[in-house]
Amino acid sequence: MKFRLGLTGSIGMGKSTTAQMFAEEGCVVWDADAAVHRLYAKGGFAVLPISEEFPGCIEEGSVSREKLRALIASDSTVLPRIEAIVHPLVQQDRADFAAQHPGHIGVFDIPLLFETGGDVEMDATACVTVSREVQVQRVLARGTMSPKDLDRILERQMPNAEKCARATYVIETDTLENARTQVQAIVKDIQDRPTHA
């Protein structure tokens, strides 16, 4: 792969929309959440190891995310055990993707990029950001989460200010036009970099 850009940002910051903008600029996009879905689906590589560790979380040959979530909520030892199974599989999926796209700029959409140390595999990182007020509005407008659910998710994530401070690029997603302009500038900056071995 010509260049690996790690894309991250907290929930409701506009990461998925921004990833789509990179795709429209000719980048290839790998999505960590989509990789997990593939691994959990019938025939996916995570089904067998999770069935051995948590047999009650398998439904019709695939991993039930709802049952896993319930288990995680009831037992603090469950999440690290799931991560020990899933993280290496996700890493392999990411490596396979990079190998399939040798001449491209790859954008790796990873919600917990810094938290999991995935940034060390990247040539640069980009963090999407927006004000806390807009973030909360966006998340609650989906109707799938309560303010308490949102707080619980944010507690597990690195603070937004810290992510932005660590990122090579920061993308403000207050408007689509502003985000697109920044994405185009980042792609140009990457294309203008001297080719590295």
Angle ∠(12,16,22) on CA atoms, nearest 5: 135
Q: Are residues 183 and 110 in the same domain?
A: yes
Q: Are residues 81 and 178 in the same domain?
A: no
pLDDT in tens, 149-173: 888 888 878 999 999 999 999 999 9
- Asked, for residue 86, whether it belongs to a domain, the answer is yes
- Asked, for residue 37, whether it belongs to a domain, the answer is yes
Q: Are residues 99 and 112 in the same domain?
A: no
Q: What percent of the chain has pLDDT over 70?
A: 98
- Average pLDDT for residues 136-141, to the nearest whole number? 93
The number of distinct structural domains making up the chain is 2
Domain that holds residue 123: 1-27+105-189
CB 108 within 8 A of CB 4: yes
Q: Are residues 86 and 99 in the same domain?
A: yes
pTM value? 0.88
Tokens, residue 192: 């203008």
pLDDT in tens, 23-39: 999 999 999 999 999 99
Does pLDDT of 104 surpass 90? Answer: yes
Closest CA to 4 of 144, 101, 86: 101
Closest CA to 127 of 196, 179, 87: 179
